[in-house]
């Protein structure tokens, strides 16, 4: 189904989306910097204290997994936000990377970094061996 140009975000919506993405990028950068400096997360602090007390390297592995998973997630989201901002600058924001149709405004509102329309996203996720 081809979506109409009226389905793409209006200039006012684009400004709002850009402001939201800029704010999210700033927050993610702060989060990544904080994680790189060391976490204040009680779970992480508790595991660090336990490692200091017991020298239990299984605890160290758990600590590394917590730190790496959180950092990996933040960096992935930061990359997606930066890509969405680039698409806004290039007037490609809101267009599906697979079919070229407009992505529904409701989808962009819920998921501002979306690169595919819902139909193409479902097809993409159904592909066997997708990573």
Report the range of poorest mean pLDDT among 21-25, 110-114, 126-130: 126-130
pLDDT of residue 3: 45
pLDDT of residue 120: 96
Reduce the DSSP state of residue 65 to 3 states and report it: helix
* Buried-exposed string 70-104: b where 16+ CB fall within 10 A, e elsewhere: bbeebeebbebbeebbebbeeeebbbbeebebbbb
Does the pLDDT value for residue 94 go beyond 60?
yes
In the structure, what pLDDT confidence band is assigned to residue 69 with cuts at 50, 70 and 90?
Answer: confident
Q: How far is CA 107 from CA 11, 33, 88, 115, 121, in A?
A: 17, 30, 16, 10, 11
Q: Could you give the CA distance from residue 32 to residue 109 in angstroms, rounded to a whole number? A: 25
Q: What is the mean pLDDT of residues 3-15?
A: 71
pLDDT of residue 57: 56
pLDDT of residue 121: 95
Q: What is the mean pLDDT of residues 91-103?
A: 95
Report the range of poorest mean pLDDT among 36-40, 42-46, 75-79, 120-124: 42-46
HSE, side-chain direction, 13 A CA sphere, residue 116: 9
Tens digit of pLDDT for each residue in 17-55?
999 999 999 998 888 777 656 655 565 555 555 556 665
Q: What is the mean pLDDT of residues 114-129?
A: 93
Q: Could you give the CA distance from residue 34 to residue 38 in angstroms, rounded to a whole number? A: 6
């Amino acid at each position: 189904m081809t979506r109409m140009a009226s389905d793409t975000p209006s200039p006012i919506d684009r400004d709002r989306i850009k402001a939201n993405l800029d704010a999210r990028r700033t927050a993610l950068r702060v989060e990544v910097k904080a994680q790189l400096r060391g976490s204040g997360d009680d779970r992480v602090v508790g595991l660090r204290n336990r490692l200091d007390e017991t020298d239990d390297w299984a605890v160290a592995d758990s600590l590394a997994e917590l730190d790496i998973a959180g950092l990996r997630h933040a960096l992935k989201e930061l990359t997606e936000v930066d890509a969405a901002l680039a698409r806004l600058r290039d007037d490609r924001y809101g267009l599906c990377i697979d079919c070229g149709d407009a992505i529904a405004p409701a989808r962009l509102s819920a998921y501002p970094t979306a690169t595919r329309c819902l139909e193409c996203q479902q097809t993409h996720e159904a592909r066997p061996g997708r990573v």
